[in-house]
């Protein structure tokens, strides 16, 4: 089969081995079935049974119900060697799909709007290929199908349930299909790739009253306005200018009408940063600023702060491995994009905190085909050619890592 590529980086995909090209129709079929059945975090029951049914049919040993819907398949070459983990996330988003394709979501208000259907299909294809070709590598490969990447995070509970042990992983890799990059490119970068994700919710308690008699009140609108502005000084005045960070107040609600002073205001925001040393720094500044301003204005507050995911930090040697494999798959260094850092977050970070690893992006946008809507958009869709590239990347990483 010839894979056609219509992207700014037109490349020759003969480097995708014929067995994986033969698998391509299956990858597309699996991805489309999964796309029709999107399931939200920790509710990936159809997805899990779809995976389990395939693994069972192929005879691949696996464990189910890890962190509710997670699955781990173990492919043992029977020869001594390293153990590599491959992680794929399985969950979808609460979005009403607006694509007009034959394989549209069958579930109202739910959609695979980030490409995790593709990740699951790639991981299944990788499992199938490696199992059929156990003679071509040494050591063992653990394929981790992870629930709930969006929101609550399935990586941490899977680690707590022991997925990194027995056999112990020596390295771990994972990929994200990426519409910020054109098909035919691979985004790979050592060090910080994606940001830490933290959330906060704050309620300001003032004292309401008549809009014409402000002296009798503590105006929650004025207090919250001061807070929103002052929070912006954390990045500009407390973070080293050579580091990147974001403090965003995304929602602010207060008051009911023009002549009533609001007694409460509620705001919600998110914090992002790459440098792990900023852990607990921004958090503390937010508390100090809110507390100081409230005290100055005679208001009180309640703050809920949640550290969702740490930053995704890639290991140097594992990044080199992925980069060299990408160079072989794409046949050109021009397709390797190191400038792929994003302030988006990913709970792959929990695996990378424990095991040397590399998370990378497989370019999946194809402007000519209209497949270039951003992730989490109701019309997000990707060029399925990237599925074959994903499997080839994983398989080659296994051969190179486990044999070394």
* Binding site residues, Ni ion, CB under 5 A: 114
Annotated active-site residue in 39, 44, 89, 91: 91
Q: Answer for the pair 387, 118: CB distance below 8 angstroms, yes or no.
A: yes
Strand 171-182 and strand 83-89: pairing? parallel
User: CB-side exposure of 205: number of CA atoms within 13 Å?
Assistant: 4
Annotated active-site residue in 149, 170, 283, 347: 149
Annotated active-site residue 149? The verdict is yes
Cα(first)–Cα(last) distance of the chain, in Å?
32
Tokens of 273: 């940063």
Strand 140-146 and strand 300-309: pairing? unpaired
Q: Which residue is nearest to Ni ion (CB)?
A: 114
- Closer residue to Ni ion (CB): 24 or 309: 309
Closest distance to Ni ion from the beta carbon of 382 (Å): 11
Closest distance to Ni ion from the beta carbon of 176 (Å): 6
Closest distance to Ni ion from the beta carbon of 88 (Å): 11
Closest distance to Ni ion from the beta carbon of 149 (Å): 6
Annotated active-site residue 160? The verdict is no
> How far is the C-alpha of 352 from the C-alpha of 313, rounded, in Å?
7
User: CB-side exposure of 333: number of CA atoms within 13 Å?
Assistant: 0
Residue 301 phi, psi dihedral angles, 5° rounding: -155, 165
Q: Give the long-range contacts of residues 56-64, CB within 8 A, separation 24 or more.
A: 58/127, 58/128, 58/131, 59/131, 60/127, 60/131
> How far is the C-alpha of 192 from the C-alpha of 310, rounded, in Å?
10
- Closer residue to Ni ion (CB): 71 or 114: 114
- Closer residue to Ni ion (CB): 16 or 188: 188
Closest distance to Ni ion from the beta carbon of 107 (Å): 18
Catalytically annotated residues: 91, 149
């Amino acid at each position: 089969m010839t894979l056609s590529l219509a992207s700014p980086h037109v490349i020759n995909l003969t480097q995708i081995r014929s067995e994986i090209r033969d698998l391509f129709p299956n990858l597309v079929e699996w991805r489309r079935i999964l796309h029709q059945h999107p399931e939200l975090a920790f509710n990936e029951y159809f997805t899990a049974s779809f995976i389990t049914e395939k693994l069972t049919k192929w005879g691949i040993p696996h464990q189910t119900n890890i962190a509710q819907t997670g699955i781990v398949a173990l492919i043992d070459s029977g020869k001594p060697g390293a153990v590599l983990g491959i992680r794929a996330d399985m969950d979808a988003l609460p979005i009403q799909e607006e694509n007009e394709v034959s394989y549209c979501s069958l579930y109202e208000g739910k959609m695979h709007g980030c490409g995790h259907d593709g990740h699951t299909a790639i991981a299944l294809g990788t499992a199938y290929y490696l199992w059929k070709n156990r003679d071509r590598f040494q050591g063992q490969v653990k394929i981790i199908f992870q629930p709930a990447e969006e929101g609550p995070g399935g990586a941490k509970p899977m680690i707590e349930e022991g997925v990194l042990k027995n056999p112990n992983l020596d390295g771990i890799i994972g990929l994200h299909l990426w519409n910020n990059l054109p098909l035919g490119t691979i985004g790979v970068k050592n060090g910080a790739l994606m940001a830490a994700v933290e959330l906060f919710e704050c309620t300001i308690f003032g004292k309401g009253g008549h809009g014409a008699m402000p002296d009798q009140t503590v105006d929650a609108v004025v207090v919250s306005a001061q807070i929103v502005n002052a929070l912006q000084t954390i990045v500009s005045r407390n973070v080293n200018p050579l580091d990147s960070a974001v403090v965003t107040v995304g929602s602010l609600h207060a008051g009911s009408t023009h002549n009533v002073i609001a007694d409460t205001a509620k705001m919600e925001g998110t914090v992002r940063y790459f440098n792990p040393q900023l852990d607990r720094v921004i958090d503390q500044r937010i508390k100090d600023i809110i507390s100081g301003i409230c005290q100055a204005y005679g208001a009180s507050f309640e703050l809920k702060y949640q550290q969702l995911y740490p930053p995704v930090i890639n290991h140097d040697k594992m990044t080199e491995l992925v980069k060299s494999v990408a160079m072989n798959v794409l046949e050109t260094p021009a397709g390797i994009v190191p400038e792929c850092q994003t302030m988006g977050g990913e709970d792959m970070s929990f695996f990378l905190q424990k095991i040397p690893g590399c998370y990378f992006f497989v370019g999946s946008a194809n402007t000519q085909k209209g497949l270039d809507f951003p992730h989490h958009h109701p019309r997000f869709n990707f060029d399925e050619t990237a599925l074959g590239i994903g499997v080839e990347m994983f398989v080659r990483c296994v051969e190179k890592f486990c044999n070394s």
